[in-house]
Chains A and B, each alone.
Chain A
Amino acid sequence: MSTIIIRRLLWLPVLLILISFVTFALGIYGPGDPVQVMMGLRARPEIVEQVRKEYGFDRPFLVQYVNYVGNALRGNFGYALVKNPGQRVSDLIAKRLPVTIQLNIVVLFWSVPLGIALGIIAALKRNTIIDVLVRALVILGFSLPVIALMPVLSFGMSRRHDLGLLTIGPFLPVGGWKGMFAPEIIMPAFVLGLGILAIYTRQTRAAMIDVLSSDYVRTARAKGLTEWMVIMRHALRNALIPLITIIGFTLAGLFAGSFLVEAFYSIPGVGALAFDAFTSREYYVIMAVTLIGATVYVIFNLIIDLAYAFVDPRIRYKSGS
């Protein structure tokens, strides 16, 4: 066990170097000559040369890479060129990060507990109508294309609908950002949480079904424990352990989902910044978002693996013996 931890810790810096290298190489040279891409094809050649020198693109590739990583480590990810020309990418991100974090906290707050609860209920009521409905909800959560769901929902929720005698709506504000406690957050948090709800429900249901048919749950029942104790103490504890492994997926889903949701609902977060960067080819922002996203993701996954080992006594004690 401890050798696995050491191996993982040694692999981490290698992984981070690889990630930064690929991000840099693809981000700067993937689109072609970086200066041409920045300046456009019609730029005068002498100006192109000047910019090339100024930005250090005339130096060897490895030197440029080391410079980029060195600056990134000091919190400098280059400068925006297209939309906010001259602004530091790190400033742009730092300004917007709190918004994204607040949005994601709200998302996790509603979707994860609800997903786990639905999964437990579906497993306990297996093959009943409740289970069928929950499974349908899961498939919906996995299948609804977010890009189309957002406008459809917004239409349904925000407009006045004249239904003959009855006029309904508007229900919810669509778009804008007034902090994590304002009603503006409901729609984006709902859309962003749908996939997470689905994945937690499915995993909890599967794990609970597995655990409920296990020998030790039968033992617990044979002891005459109350159903509540059987489920909460014996079944749920074991069922929740494998859920740790999907925290990583959750994070990855939130990264990508934030792009679409923040952009559509005009939320001034990192996701919207990234969306704009992708559509307007703002490469330094694209690189920064990818690099930071991947680094956070890798470190998180390492923590999750260690947590997994810690929570499950079977793994925890292997290190002792």
Chain B
Amino acid sequence: MSNTLLDVRNLRTEFATQDGIVHAVNGVSFVLEEGETLGLVGESGSGKSVSMLTVMRLIPMPPGRIPSGEVIFQGNDLLKLSAEEMRQIRGNKIAMVFQDPMTSLNPVLTIGTQITEALELHMGMNNEQARKRAAELLKMVNIPEAERRLDDYPHQFSGGMRQRVMIAIGLSCSPQLLIADEPTTALDVTIQAQITDIVKRLKRELGMAIIWITHDLGVIAGLADRINVMYSGYIVETAPTKELFANPLHPYTVGLLGSIPRLDEGKREKLTPIEGLPPDLVNLPVGCPFYDRCRFRTEKCLQENPPLMSVGVKHWSACWNYEDVRQQRDAILKRTALPVAGTPQS
């Protein structure tokens, strides 16, 4: 039933700095179907935000550079479009919501202006139509007294409300794809839940595809259809959400799962942090980037960086020793084995 909406192939992004070239994204490939929700998980510096900014072509260049890759969106390679063609896609077919709602809205323009300008530009509405639509959008994201609040400035809204305004801006032109870059990270836990609920509901109503960037597996467990785990600019594991939680086959994913607090385990459980630091993105190692922090490492890992290997149904992992991971992870996570969706293929 589903068609490919976005096909990212071997995408790389670099930044020239005084200390050398920072390799932020190192050959990322994935496919997103129409209406699918994809979670992009990793710690800061793993390249998850940069890769999505590259898709939007919002990387400042210079210092940024895209040495290779294709971003096929609805059949067109976005990286080959002219600046003007790309501009017509941004905010119109692909929208992005950013992490910090306190700084992402322009402080000297009213909320109304900030919503209507995109509508007037992309949808050709006149001011009156755009204002009407803007009020509807604010209602959609549960902002009371929407018409009146159009004339308010961002600082008159709370953090959670501003993020809802950002979502309203993102959805204003009914995009096919919404990229949400840690939209709940800067917010209180209760507000986080409100925001995720609103996005879930709007996705049901509007049916757009979503890429949700987060460093917190817990946040997208109930949201994403599939999850890409990223580490130092590589996708290290990708699987459908349930499969990933039940059957993690990369040591880093296991580490991430180990660091989620679990309510069902009782209070005796301690969280297990992942020791060490990610590698320096200026001098990437030849071998596996996770080597230094990995408890499964072998000689081979030091010499050769593992590619993504098929390890199950719609499940790929970039670990030479994924079989070891499979055998030991439940012990490490101190849990009983969960039912696994598909049978292993290898």
Q: Do chains A and B touch in the complex (CB under 8 A)?
A: yes
- Where the two chains meet, the residues of A that have a C-beta atom closer than 8 Å to any C-beta of B are 127, 213-216, 218-227, 229, 233-234, 237-238, 241, 312-314, 317
Q: Which among B92, B107, B166 is the interface contact of A224 at CB below 8 angstroms? A: B92
Chain B interface size range: 20 to 34
16 additional contacts (CB under 8 A) given A223-B117, A223-B169: A213-B60, A216-B104, A216-B105, A219-B106, A219-B169, A222-B90, A223-B118, A224-B90, A224-B91, A224-B118, A226-B87, A229-B121, A234-B109, A237-B108, A312-B107, A313-B155
Interface secondary structure of B, over-half rule: mixed
Which of B92, B108, B118 is the one whose CB lies under 8 Å from A312?
B108
* Selected contact of B91 from candidates A216, A225, A238, CB within 8 Å: A225
Chain A residues with CB under 8 Å of B118's CB are: 223-225
A126 → chain B, closest Cβ, in Å? 9
A314 touches B98 (CB 8 A): no
Chain B residues close to A by CB (< 8 Å): 56, 58, 60, 62, 83, 87-92, 95-96, 98, 100, 103-109, 117-118, 121-122, 153, 155-156, 166, 169
Candidates B58, B100, B108, B121; contact of A222 at CB < 8 Å: B58
Q: Decide: A317 near B155, CB < 8 A? Known: A224-B90, A224-B92.
A: yes
Q: How distant is the Cα of A238 from the Cα of B212 in the complex, in angstroms?
A: 30
- Taking CB atoms, residues of chain A closer than 8 Å to B98 are 215, 218-219, 222
Residues in B whose Cβ lies below 8 Å from that of A226: 87, 121
Identify the closest chain B residue to A240 (Cβ).
B108
Cβ contacts under 8 Å, A223 to chain B: 90-91, 95, 117-118, 121, 169
Task: Give every chain A residue within 8 A of B60 (Cβ-Cβ).
Answer: 213
Contact of B155 among A216, A225, A229, A314 (CB under 8 A): A314
Q: How far is the CA of A237 from the CA of B89 in the complex (A)?
A: 26
B107, closest chain A residue (CB) = A314
Contact A224 B106 (CB under 8 A): no
Determine whether the beta carbon of A314 is less than 8 Å from that of B153.
Answer: yes
- The smallest C-beta distance from B269 to any residue of chain A, in angstroms, reads 38
In the complex, the answer to whether A224 meets B121 with C-beta atoms within 8 Å is: yes
Closest to A313 in B: B153
Does B100 contact A215, Cβ atoms closer than 8 Å?
yes
In the bound assembly, the distance between CA atoms of A80 and B202 in angstroms comes to: 81
Residues of chain B contacted by A238 (CB below 8 angstroms)? 106-108
- Note all chain A residues with C-beta closer than 8 A to B83: 227
A237 with B58: CB separation less than 8 A: no
| Of A222, A225, A233, A237, the contact of B95 (CB 8 Å cutoff) | A222
Which listed residue (A218, A225, A237) contacts B104, Cβ 8 A? A218
Closest A residue to B88 by beta carbon equals A224
C-alpha gap A226/B88 in the complex (Å): 9
Given contacts A313-B153, A313-B155, contact A224 B105 (CB under 8 A): no
Interface pair B89/A224, CB less than 8 Å apart: yes
**Within the assembled complex, what's the spacing in Å between the Cα atoms of A216 and B153?**
13
Chain A residues near B95: list those with CB within 8 A: 222-223
- In the complex, residue of chain B having the shortest beta-carbon distance to the beta carbon of A318: B155
Q: How far is the CA of A223 from the CA of B56 in the complex (A)?
A: 10
For A230, give the chain B residue with the smallest CB separation: B87
- How far, in angstroms, from A272 to B83 measured CA to CA in the complex? 55
> Is B108's CB under 8 angstroms from A241's CB?
yes
Task: Give the docked Cα–Cα distance between A313 and B109 (Å).
Answer: 9
Q: List 7 A-B contacts (CB under 8 A).
A: A214-B103, A215-B100, A221-B58, A226-B87, A234-B106, A238-B108, A314-B107
Q: With both chains docked as a complex, state the minimum distance between the C-beta of B175 and any C-beta of chain A, in angstroms.
A: 10
Rounded to whole angstroms, the CA-CA distance of A70 and B56 in the bound complex is: 69
A180 to chain B, nearest CB (A): 35
Interface centre among A223, A227, A237, A241 (most CB of B within 10 A): A223
Kindly state the separation between the CA atoms of A312 and B153 in the bound complex, as whole angstroms: 11
**Cβ–Cβ < 8 Å partners of A213 in chain B:** 60
> What's the nearest-Cβ distance from chain A to residue B93, in Å?
9
Bound Cα distance A127, B92 (Å) = 32
Q: How far is the CA of A226 from the CA of B109 in the complex (A)?
A: 17
Collect the chain B residues with CB atoms within 8 Å of residue A314's CB. 107, 153, 155
